[in-house]
Amino acid sequence: MKVGLFIPCYVDQFYPGAAIATLCLLEKLGVEVVYPPKQTCCGQPMANSGFEHLTGDCNELFVKNFAEFDYIVAPSGSCVLHIRDHLHDDKHPEAAKNISHRIYELTSFLIDVLKVENLPARFPHRVGLHQSCHGQRGLHISSMTELVAPEFSKPGSLLKMVADIDLVDLNRKDECCGFGGTFCVTEEAVSVKMGKDRVADHLKHDVSYITGVDMSCLMHMEGILKRQGSNVKVIHIAEILNAG
Amino acid sequence: MTEHSTKEHSELAEDFIKDEDRVDWHDETLWFIRQKRDKAAHQLPEWEALREAASQIKNNVLSNLHDYLLQFERNAVANGIEVHWAADAAEHNQIVQRLLNEANVVRMVKSKSMLTEECGLNEYLAKQGIEVIDSDLGERIVQLAEEPPSHIVLPCIHKKKEEIGEIFHQHLGIEAGISDPQFLTETARQHLREIFLTRRAALTGVNFAVAETGEFVVCTNEGNADMGAHLADIHIASMGIEKLIPKKKHLGVFLRLLTRSATGQPITTYSSHFRTPRDGTKIHVILVDNGRTVQLGRKDFRNSLKCIRCAACMNTCPVYRRSGGHSYHTAVAGPIGSILAPNLDMEKYADLPFASTLCGSCSNVCPVKIDIHEQLYKWRQVLVKNGYTPKAKKAGMQVMTWTLSSPSLYQAAGKVGRWVIKYAPFAVNNKLNPWHKQRDMPESPEWSFNVWYKQNRKNDEQ
C-alpha cells in the first residue's frame, strides 16, 4: 500500500509538528508514505469564499501530485472534505474522481483502512477533544448530536487507545468553534465570540490540552487562549497518537 | 420588507456582540431550546424516517406544484372559501386592502404570519389608514417596541422580561419596574381580549394547506389565531404557494415534526383546521408567489421551498445565537433566511450566505432535510459570479489562486510569511489585521514541513 501524504498549506507553514507526527505515525504503523513536495493547497479558501471557479489550476496541480497513490491521507477533515466534494479536473476527470474516493482524513484512515485497534502511545494529560465540523458533519468521522443515530467517534476511539490520557466530556459536544475559513476575518466579532465560548467549555473542564483533527480550528482557539494568557495548549491529534 | 439597515451582517453582529452578557444570555436561551428539541427527537426512534418522509412529500409537492395549487383552489372554492392569487408582495397587500375596504373595516387583528412580514403588510396598511394589531404575544411586544421580529417562532427572543415590563409600562399602562412573566402575560391577555372582541377582520398565516380537501391548518401555542378568526366576520389567510401538502394523512408527518423541531413540544397547543366559513362570515385565502416560482426554477436552491418555518436551524446556528436575528436584516433570519433572501434581492442580501461557518448543524436539524449549508456554499458561488463581491477581495483571491497553483511561488510566499511573523510581527499584529484584533498569531516555526521532509526523508521524486 502506497500512501500519498497531503499536508494542508497552513499546516506545512505554521504547524510542521503536526505534519511530522502524521508521517511518523503512519510509518510506525508500517505504511509506505510518500510526500509529493510540489503540493500546495486544496483550494478551499477560495471556493468557500465563492471563487470555486478560480480553483482550476489548484485542482490540476492536486491531481498531478496525487494520482499515482493507493490512498491519500491528510491530517485535516476540512481539506479532505473539500477534495471529496469539489475536486474536479476537466483534463483528467477520471483521475480527479479517483482521488476524491481515495482521500482520507487521518483518523478515518487509521480506523477504516488500517483497522487500528491499539496504539503504542502514552499521553498523561487532561485533554478536551474538539469535534471539527467538516470532519464530523461532512466526513462523518463521529456521530452528531442533532441526529437520532448510534453514537461513535473515530478520533475518540483512537484517543481511548492512548495510555494515561484523561479525556473530558464537554458540555456542548459538537458546537462549531467559529473558525470557518475566511469567516474568521470577515465575521471577526462572531468568530471570536464563538471561539471564546468553545475554549471556555474546555477550560471549565480543566483541560491541559485541546486536540482535534483540524489544525485550523485549533489555530483559532490557540490565538484566543494565548490572548487570554492561558497555559492551555492546542495539539493536533496525530501528535497525541504518536506520543510516548 | 422589514425595516432594512444599510449595514451588513458582520457589522450588525458586531454591534450586538458588544454587550457580551446579553449575547451569552441569548445564546444560552436558544441553546436550551435546541436541547429541548434534541430530547423530543430522541424520544422517537423513527425520527430520521419521519424527516425523510416529510422531505419526500415536500419534494413531490414542489414537482407537482401547479396541479396541487389548482386542486386546492377547486376544493377550497367548493368548501365556500374565496381564493385569490398574488404574484408578489404588492399584489398581496392590495388584495388585503381591497377585502378590508369592501367590508368597511379599518382595524384588523393578525396572528403570526412571516409572509406578511416578508410583504411588509403592516407598514402598507398603516399608510392606507388601516390599523393592524399583532395578536401573537411576542409579535405584539416587538410591534409595541416598533421593531421587526428577530426570530420566526420566538419573535421577541432578543428581549429580556425587564425590557418587556418597560414596554408594557409605556404602552399598556402597567406600573414601572414589573418583570414577573405571569403578570406581564396576563396584562397582554387582557389587552388582546379587547382587541379580539372588537375586530371584525382577522388575518392568519397558514402552516399547511391540504390540496385533497381544500382546508388549511394554522398552528399556534396561544390560540390567538383561533380567537381572531372565530370572532371576526372576515378571515383572511395568507399563504406562500409552497405551503401545500397533497393529502390530509400527510399532516400526521408534519405535525409530529413541526413543534418537536421548533420548541421540543410533542405538538402545537392548537392545530386548527379551517375548511368552511361559518354562516354569515367569509374566509379568503391569498396564494402568494413573491419570488417562489423563481426559486423553484433554480435547480440548486428549489428545495429551500420545503421549509415549514420551524426555526430549528436558527436555534442550532452558532452564528445566529451570537449575532441575533436582526443582524440578518430580513424577515426570515438565520440559515434558512440566508438561502431564501438572496432569491428576492441578490444585491441587498449578498452578505447573508457568508454569515456562516458552514458547520452543517442547520441541515442536520432541518425536519424536511433541506441541505441548507450546501446551499449557502452554492449561493456564494452564484453571488460572486454575479459580481456581488468587494473588488479588493476578488483581487486578493486571484493572487491567492495564482500563488497556490504554483509550488515554487507558494514555498517562497510561505517563507516570506513565516519570516514576517517571526521578525516583523508588527506588520501583521496590528489593527488592520482582523485576526489579530482579539487573537494572537500562530508562532512562526523555523522550517516548513516541506523543508523538514527534504532534509529528513529520502524522496526519489525530488
What is the Cα–Cα distance from B317 to B325, expressed in whole angstroms? 11
CB contact under 8 A, B358 and A13: no
Residue in B41, B438, B454 nearest the CB of A227 = B438
For B406, which residue in chain A has the nearest alpha carbon? A40
Over residues B85-94, the pLDDT tens digits come to: 999 999 999 9
Q: In this model, does residue B225 exceed pLDDT 50?
A: yes
Over residues B16-31, the pLDDT tens digits come to: 999 999 999 999 999 9
What pLDDT does residue B390 have? 63
What is the Cα–Cα distance from A75 to A77, expressed in whole angstroms? 7
Residue in A35, A50, A55 nearest the CB of B453 = A35
Indicate which of A172, A188, A220 best probes the interface with B, i.e. most B CBs within 10 Å of its own CB: A188
What is the Cα–Cα distance from B167 to B135, expressed in whole angstroms? 16
For residue B154, give how far its alpha carbon lies from the nearest alpha carbon of chain A (Å).
21
Q: How many CB atoms lie within 10 A of CB B12?
A: 20
Residues of B in contact with A145 (CB under 8 A): 38
Q: How many CB atoms lie within 10 A of CB B38?
A: 18
Query: Does residue B414 form part of some domain?
Result: yes
Parse chain A into domains and list their residue ranges. 2-113, 126-241
For B15, which residue in chain A has the nearest alpha carbon? A189
The last residue of one of the domains, among B239, B270, B293, is B293
What pLDDT does residue B444 have? 86
For residue A120, give how far its alpha carbon lies from the nearest alpha carbon of chain B (Å).
23
For residue A116, give how far its alpha carbon lies from the nearest alpha carbon of chain B (Å).
25
Query: Does residue B256 form part of some domain?
Result: yes
Q: In this model, does residue B394 exceed pLDDT 70?
A: no
Residues of B in contact with A224 (CB under 8 A): 438-439
Residues of A in contact with B410 (CB under 8 A): 9, 40-41
Examine the domain organization and report whether B263 and B411 are in the same domain: no
Q: Packing angle between helix B181-198 and helix B161-172, nearest 10 degrees?
A: 40
As a whole number of Å, the CA-based R_g of chain B is 26
Q: Three-class SS of residue B428?
A: coil
CB contact under 8 A, B414 and A220: no
User: Cell for B212?
Assistant: 385533497
The last residue of one of the domains, among B293, B323, B356, is B293
The last residue of one of the domains, among B293, B318, B334, is B293
For B377, which residue in chain A has the nearest alpha carbon? A48
What is the Cα–Cα distance from B448 to A79, expressed in whole angstroms? 18
Over residues A57-111, the pLDDT tens digits come to: 999 999 999 999 999 999 999 999 999 999 999 999 999 999 999 999 999 999 9
Query: Does residue B161 form part of some domain?
Result: yes
What pLDDT does residue B3 have? 46
CB pairs under 8 A between A and B: 215
- CA dist list (Å): B121 to B86, B91, B101, B179, B197: 13, 11, 15, 31, 22
Over residues A149-182, the pLDDT tens digits come to: 999 999 999 999 999 999 999 999 999 999 999 8
ipTM of the complex: 0.96
User: Cell for B429?
Assistant: 499584529
Residues of A in contact with B394 (CB under 8 A): 51
Count up the domains in chain B and report the number: 2
Indicate which of A3, A7, A13 best probes the interface with B, i.e. most B CBs within 10 Å of its own CB: A13
CB contact under 8 A, B381 and A23: no
Mean pLDDT calculated for residue range B183-211: 96
Q: Which domain holds residue B406?
A: 399-456
What pLDDT does residue B462 have? 45
Cα-based torsion angle of the residue sequence B39, B41, B46, B47 in order, rounded to the nearest 10 degrees: -160
CB contact under 8 A, B14 and A188: yes
A78 — contact with chain B (CB < 8 Å)? no
A126-241 carries CATH number 3.40.50: yes
Helix (H) or strand (E) holding A167: strand A166-167
Query: Does residue B308 form part of some domain?
Result: no
What pLDDT does residue B416 have? 72
Residue in A9, A58, A191 nearest the CB of B401 = A58
CB contact under 8 A, A37 and B407: yes
Q: What is the value of pTM for the model shown?
A: 0.95
Look at residues A51, A206, A14, A159 and name the one whose alpha carbon lies nearest to residue B405.
Answer: A51
Query: Does residue B54 form part of some domain?
Result: yes
Chain B, window 407-436: residues with a beta carbon less than 8 angstroms from a chain A beta carbon: 407, 410, 414, 417-418, 434-435
Does residue A99 contact residue A87 with C-beta atoms inside 8 Å? yes
Q: Quick one: DSSP state of residue B353? A: G
Q: How many CB atoms lie within 10 A of CB B456?
A: 11
- CA dist list (Å): A233 to A125, A221, B71, B74: 11, 9, 63, 67
